[in-house]
Chain A
């Protein structure tokens, strides 16, 4: 039973495919997988944020809700203590004013973060290596809830006490 050529080629192909699939699963799926393939066309601009929440590389960049690019890279600037986000904008959207405003927004209630860009009014446009000055950080839901409860408990607590005192005084006056 000597295996012939086609059999060996078939087996080789199958094993190759199988290990390629395993390699893909182990290298591409876990966080920030290796990137294969040619870099996509477009120009890059940077923006600095105080807090990017859980923004990830590959998250979309939108203008008026339309996908215009994606987050190409995130790094930490240890001088300013800010997150520097590199945005890759598709080449056909080359008329974004230089004074545009970038904010980190959330999809749905618990969804992932993305960057929304609202246009400014200048006539000069963002180019390769450009920089967006005006940014708004991610709204962290937990801190928002904390703030809300902090203000609520101090205000609400005061109110009930006041009412209680009022009621008491009324009761006393009736007596």
Chain B
């Protein structure tokens, strides 16, 4: 009995994984035709990207300010506060900007995607499209997926820049680290490689978070409860997958 329950649980997990993988391949197939409708994608970039701008900028500012404060507190014990710029830049570019942006994206844009598509499913809009021989995967899912994938690296880059100025605000203006030292030490030890690492990470997170959000919405049970459940699962799955992928990507870039 217990064994069968355990088997069912494992089987369900494997089924979910397979469902996401098949959905991903089908979605990729529809992405190229979807590019012929750039207005749909622009609309989704606006929804996922432009409307996340305020929350991303505010979070970036505060994360940068915390980095400035914590970094200064830690570095002054070793008498090397001039490394603050380097510490803040590397921390933001490589880890904080891609990860925090992805987590915020999952909460802000991912939930919106899931509940929107889930409601379309619940109100039979997707079925109606299928009856009209309009592929909902091409006209509903693919533009939303592409919009998310394109928006994420831009959001992460904005997060990094705002965060750097947040760190400068605290480190230089408040704590009195020399401004020239802050920037020149940073420029001396941050390479293009570190910037690339951040961009690659945010693209991968963008793919993962958008895929999960669209998949959960597309396969939500067509009830109010089903949409609610799918939205919750989007946030949980996106966050966990983001952190897991982050570890793997960090190891790959070492």
Task: Answer whether A and B are interacting partners.
Answer: yes
B191 to chain A minimum Cβ distance, whole angstroms, is: 6
Interface residues of A in 1-40 (CB under 8 A from B): 1-3, 7-8, 10-11, 13-15, 17-19, 21-22, 24-26, 28-33
B224 to chain A minimum Cβ distance, whole angstroms, is: 25
A14-B49 contact given A25-B93, A29-B187, A30-B187, CB 8 Å threshold: yes
Q: How far is the CA of A31 from the CA of B89 in the complex (A)?
A: 13
* Contact bitstring B140-151, A, C-beta under 8 A = 1, else 0: 000000000001
Residues of A within 8 A of B93 (CB): 25, 29
A114-B181 contact given A21-B158, A24-B161, A29-B190, CB 8 Å threshold: yes
Residues of A within 8 A of B82 (CB): 107-108, 111-112
Residues of A within 8 A of B78 (CB): 108
Q: How large is the interface on A (under 10, 10 to 19, 20 to 34, 35 or more residues)?
A: 35 or more
In the complex, the answer to whether B180 meets A2 with C-beta atoms within 8 Å is: no
Residues of B within 8 A of A70 (CB): 180
Q: How far is the CA of A24 from the CA of B186 in the complex (A)?
A: 13
Residues of A within 8 A of B184 (CB): 56-59, 112
Residues of B within 8 A of A71 (CB): 180
Q: How far is the CA of A56 from the CA of B85 in the complex (A)?
A: 14
Which of B39-47, B62-70, B102-110 lies at the interface? B39-47
Tell me the count of chain B residues lying within 8 A, CB to CB, of chain A: 41
A3-B191 contact given A19-B154, A59-B184, CB 8 Å threshold: no
* Contact bitstring B72-107, A, C-beta under 8 A = 1, else 0: 000000111011000001000100000000000000
Contact pick for A25, options B40, B160, B183, CB 8 Å: B160
Contact pick for A2, options B39, B45, B178, B191, CB 8 Å: B39
Residues of B within 8 A of A8 (CB): 42
Residues of A within 8 A of B178 (CB): 60, 67, 114
A107-B181 contact given A30-B191, A112-B82, CB 8 Å threshold: yes
In the complex, the answer to whether A18 meets B49 with C-beta atoms within 8 Å is: yes
In the complex, the answer to whether B161 meets A14 with C-beta atoms within 8 Å is: no
In the complex, the answer to whether A22 meets B157 with C-beta atoms within 8 Å is: yes
Q: How far is the CA of A56 from the CA of B192 in the complex (A)?
A: 18
Contact pick for B188, options A15, A21, A31, CB 8 Å: A31
**Interface residue SS majority, chain B:** helix
Judge whether A110 is part of the interface by a CB distance below 8 angstroms: yes
In the complex, the answer to whether B186 meets A18 with C-beta atoms within 8 Å is: no
The 19 listed contacts between A and B (C-beta, < 8 Å) are A8-B42, A10-B51, A14-B45, A14-B49, A14-B151, A17-B154, A22-B157, A24-B161, A25-B161, A26-B195, A29-B187, A29-B190, A31-B187, A58-B181, A58-B183, A60-B181, A107-B82, A107-B181, A111-B83
Contacts A14-B53, A28-B187 known; 14 new A-B pairs at CB < 8 A? A2-B39, A10-B50, A11-B46, A11-B49, A11-B50, A21-B160, A22-B153, A24-B161, A25-B198, A26-B195, A59-B180, A59-B181, A112-B82, A112-B185
**B residues in contact (CB < 8 Å) with A:** 39-40, 42-43, 45-46, 49-51, 53, 78-80, 82-83, 89, 93, 151, 153-155, 157-158, 160-161, 178, 180-181, 183-188, 190-192, 194-195, 198-199
**A residues in contact (CB < 8 Å) with B:** 1-3, 7-8, 10-11, 13-15, 17-19, 21-22, 24-26, 28-33, 54, 56-60, 67, 70-71, 107-112, 114
